[in-house]
């Protein structure tokens, strides 16, 4: 029986001239993945808490906020207040991952950690018991529309072995062609920007990526 995966459209690939309508188009998804970029940790800027607040009233999806920030701690409360349900920070810029996890939980959000393609999975192991989700990046963070790197999917397998109940998300280059690789690795949550928002029928794309049987 095929595993049913959760689907998280990445807002980065949406039409920014009409974000409200874009969110309506993906109402059948499970999460809305929202990339917050600071132009320092990644070489790009994206959006801030105002966008999340504006969309919060329009969508009941779980808001999965991916902080690509060099200094995430001061922004945890800000994004929770704006409407984030899950807040993830990057392992590579966390001086004290335990303190960040505690701050996220204290805010009332669920905590996640994201890792760049070259970051060893071993760095995450001490924190797995405290986390709701781990995001394994399958592209270098910063831009949508890149090709999935298969190497990091090995991390998904290790994470699922270590902590079967943890949600493991992959982010970058997920589409119909790379779906089988993700499923075989044991992925729980698929982030897909280009594949969903640039599709003529996003609902069809979401249903295809999700698979058919029960989770
Ligand atoms: O984190 C990201 C970029 O840093 C995006 O969420 C990710 O790349 C998804 O976009 P696409 O499906 O177009 O690859």
- Interval between CA 147 and ligand 1 midpoint (Å): 10
> Using H for helix, E for strand and C for coil, what is the string for 123-159?
HHHHHHHHCCEEEEECCCCCCCCCCCCCCCHHHHHHH
pLDDT tens across the length of the chain (215 residues):
678 899 999 999 999 999 999 999 999 999 999 999 999 999 999 999 999 999 999 999 999 999 999 999 999 999 999 999 999 999 999 999 999 999 999 999 999 999 999 999 999 999 999 999 999 999 999 999 999 999 999 999 999 999 999 999 999 999 999 999 999 999 999 999 999 999 999 999 999 999 853 33
Contact 62, 85 (CB under 8 A): yes
The residue from 35, 38, 64, 188 that is catalytic is 35
Q: Examine the residue annotation and report whether 64 is marked as an active-site residue of this protein.
A: no
Closest-lying ligand 1 atom to the alpha carbon of residue 33: 6
CA angle 133, 53, 138 (to 5 degrees): 35
Count of other CB atoms within 10 angstroms of residue 171:
28
Beta carbons within 8 Å of 114's beta carbon, 6+ residues apart? 66, 68, 88, 89, 90, 91, 134, 135, 136, 137, 141, 171
| CATH no. of 6-210 | 3.20.20.70
Q: Examine the residue annotation and report whether 35 is marked as an active-site residue of this protein.
A: yes
> What DSSP character marks residue 198?
T
Burial string for 60-72 (b: 16+ CB within 10 Å, else e) reads ebbbbbbbbbeeb
The annotation status of 144 as a binding-site residue, yes or no, is yes
The annotation status of 79 as a binding-site residue, yes or no, is no
Closest-lying ligand 1 atom to the alpha carbon of residue 145: 13
The annotation status of 172 as a binding-site residue, yes or no, is yes
209 touches ligand 1 (CB under 6 Å)? no
Cα–Cα distance measured from residue 60 to residue 41, given in angstroms and rounded to the nearest whole number: 30
The answer to whether the predicted template modeling score (pTM) of the entire model surpasses 0.80 is yes
């Amino acid at each position: 029986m095929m595993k049913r995966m959760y689907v998280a459209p990445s807002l980065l690939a949406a039409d920014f001239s009409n974000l409200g309508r874009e969110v309506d188009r993906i109402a059948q998804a499970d999460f809305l993945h929202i990339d917050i970029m600071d132009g320092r940790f990644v070489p790009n800027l994206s959006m801030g808490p105002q966008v999340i607040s504006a969309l919060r009233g329009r969508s009941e999806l779980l808001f999965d906020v991916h902080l690509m920030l060099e200094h995430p701690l001061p922004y945890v409360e800000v994004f929770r207040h704006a409407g984030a349900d899950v807040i993830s920070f990057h392992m590579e810029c966390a001086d004290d991952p335990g303190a960040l996890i505690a701050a996220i939980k204290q805010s009332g959000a669920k905590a996640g950690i994201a890792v760049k393609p070259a970051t060893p999975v071993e760095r995450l192991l001490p924190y797995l018991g405290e986390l709701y989700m781990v995001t394994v990046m399958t592209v270098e963070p910063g831009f949508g529309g890149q090709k999935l790197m298969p190497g990091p999917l090995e991390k998904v397998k290790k994470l699922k072995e270590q902590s079967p109940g943890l949600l493991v998300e992959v982010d970058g280059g997920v589409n119909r062609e790379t779906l089988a690789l993700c499923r075989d690795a044991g992925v729980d949550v698929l982030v897909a920007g280009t594949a969903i928002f640039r599709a003529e029928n996003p609902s069809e794309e979401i249903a295809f990526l999700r698979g058919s049987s029960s989770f």
